[in-house]
Amino acid sequence: MDNFETLLEGSAAAHGHLCAGQVIGVRMAMLGLQLIGLEDPKNSDQIKKLIVYVEIDRCATDAISYVTGVQLGRRSMKFMDYGINAATFVNLETGCAFRIVSTEKARGLASEYAPGIENKNEQQLTAYKVMPLEALFEVEEVDVDIPPEDVPGPSRLKAICQKCGITVRDGREVRQQDKMICHSCAGIAYYQNPRKVKHFNLRN
């Protein structure tokens, strides 16, 4: 694995800017990989051994993806919308898993590790680079039960919605009145009032 500064530079470039969240994400990912015994998950012999659960859609998540190589499309990143700056790193081969949470106390300690910097954002960015991991994070060893339909690879389960006929993959169908239906037909989708568009023009 590359060193911290190299990873931070690459992560910031991929994300679009350098910020405190990038620092936290890179250090969190490096720690998580170390804890579960994977040195270079982007390497072909390790890439299938890793799943990371992220709990927030903020800057740190992009950094975690960059450092570890996990992606939603590969099913190696799982997004749990908890609103917590945390991630759980799972070694699929050993079952070893650690959840790492970014601490709020780190904000208050920033002035100690970056004295003389008045701008809070710059102060946190600088401080988080050098702050001890014990001050920056709380770590828990956890158990993660990953259902077969959630692991990377081809879809193991497919269902046909009994109302609209669309294919629902990976056990995400909803049972309602003894019927297996999609979220939209169940009335619990993130969108409302779907209307078919029959004619559309796209520019090539």
Where are the chain's structural domains?
4-147, 154-204
pLDDT digits (tens, 9 = 90+) for 47-92: 889 999 999 999 999 999 999 999 999 999 999 999 999 999 999 9
The confidence band for 198, taking pLDDT boundaries of 50, 70 and 90, is: confident
What pLDDT sits at residue 50? 96
* SS3 of residue 189 by DSSP: coil
Question: H or E stretch including 168?
Answer: strand 167-169
* Packing angle of the helix pair 20-36, 4-15 (nearest 10 deg): 130
Enter the tokens of residue 25.
């994400």
Mean pLDDT, residues 89-101: 97
Q: How far apart are CA 168 and CA 45, in angstroms?
A: 31
- pLDDT confidence of residue 46: 86
pLDDT tier at 179 (50, 70, 90 boundaries)?
very high
Q: How far apart are CA 163 and CA 178, in angstroms?
A: 12
Q: Which architecture does CATH list for 4-147?
A: 2-Layer Sandwich (3.30)
Give the C-alpha distances (Å, rounded to integers) separating 158 from 22, 172, 182, 184, 188. 37, 9, 11, 16, 19
- Mapped onto helix, strand or coil, the DSSP state of residue 65 is helix
Q: Per this entry, what is the length of the chain?
A: 204
Both tokens of 49, joined, read 């051994």
* Burial class of residue 186, CB neighbours in 10 A (0-12, 13-18, 19+): middle
The mean pLDDT of the chain is: 94
Model pLDDT, residue 197 = 87
Cα-to-chain-centroid distance, residue 41:
15
> Residue 96 burial by CB count (10 A; 0-12/13-18/19+): exposed, middle or buried?
middle
pLDDT of 167 above 70? yes
pLDDT beyond 80 at 7: yes
pLDDT of residue 47: 85
For a pLDDT cut of 90, what percent of the chain falls above it?
82
pLDDT at 204 exceeding the cut of 70: no
Q: Provide mean pLDDT across the span 3-9.
A: 96
Mean pLDDT of 19-41: 96
Residue keyed to tokens 């790193």: 89
